[in-house]
Amino acid sequence: MKPELVALVAAIVSGTLTLLGVWVSTLMANRRERIAFMRTLGRERVDTLRSTFEHGLVVLERHVRNVGMISSSDVADMQHAKARLALCDSPAVSQQFETTARALDEWAAAARQGTPWPGPNGVVAFVSGYREAEHNEYEGQLWLEFSEQRGWLLQIMRA
């Protein structure tokens, strides 16, 4: 064999193997980057869902603490939470949040009826005695209904 032919074959084989090595390393690097990107995207999605769920629960807890006495900012927060939950991929969470919010509103209305209310000239009126036990029992039932709905909401959010 001629030395020029051997040199030419060696150059072709060497070049082909080099290109093959570069191609394989590029493929592997691209695969690694795609996997890392998908992992990051998944983490961001979970963090966004967690943030949305936490915001919804905070809005409900604030509503409980204020016994349903809401300001315009509370209404805006409630609607913001409802909108964010409606946009998430889980319609069950959005629907359960609505059900829980309705149960909370029913309880809050009953709870406010049993609290003192201001009368004329700043006098605070206490209404007690007449059907108080029935009202307290009804309010307790509404609280249990709200607690049950909130428990279902938490269970759906954790799933």
Summarised one tens digit per residue, pLDDT across range 1-28 is 788 888 899 999 999 999 999 999 999 9
Q: How confident is the model at residue 114 (pLDDT cuts 50, 70, 90)?
A: low
Please give the single-letter amino acid code of residue 116: P
Q: What is the biggest distance separating any 2 CA atoms in the chain, rounded to whole angstroms?
A: 118
Q: How confident is the model at residue 133 (pLDDT cuts 50, 70, 90)?
A: confident
Residue 135's domain comprises 49-158
* pLDDT, tens digit, 9 for 90 and up, residues 53-89: 999 999 888 888 887 677 777 788 888 888 888 888 7
* pLDDT, tens digit, 9 for 90 and up, residues 89-103: 788 888 999 999 899
Residues present in the chain in total:
159
C-alpha atoms less than 13 angstroms from C-alpha of 117 in its C-beta half-sphere: 7
Q: Distance between CA atoms of 112 and 118, rounded to whole angstroms?
A: 12
Classify residue 98: in a domain, yes or no.
Answer: yes
Number of separate domains in the chain: 1
Classify residue 86: in a domain, yes or no.
Answer: yes
Classify residue 110: in a domain, yes or no.
Answer: yes
Percent of the chain with pLDDT over 70: 89
SS (H, E, C) 76-132: HHHHHHHHHHHHCCCHHHHHHHHHHHHHHHHHHHHHHHCCCEECHHHCEECCCCCCH
Classify residue 72: in a domain, yes or no.
Answer: yes
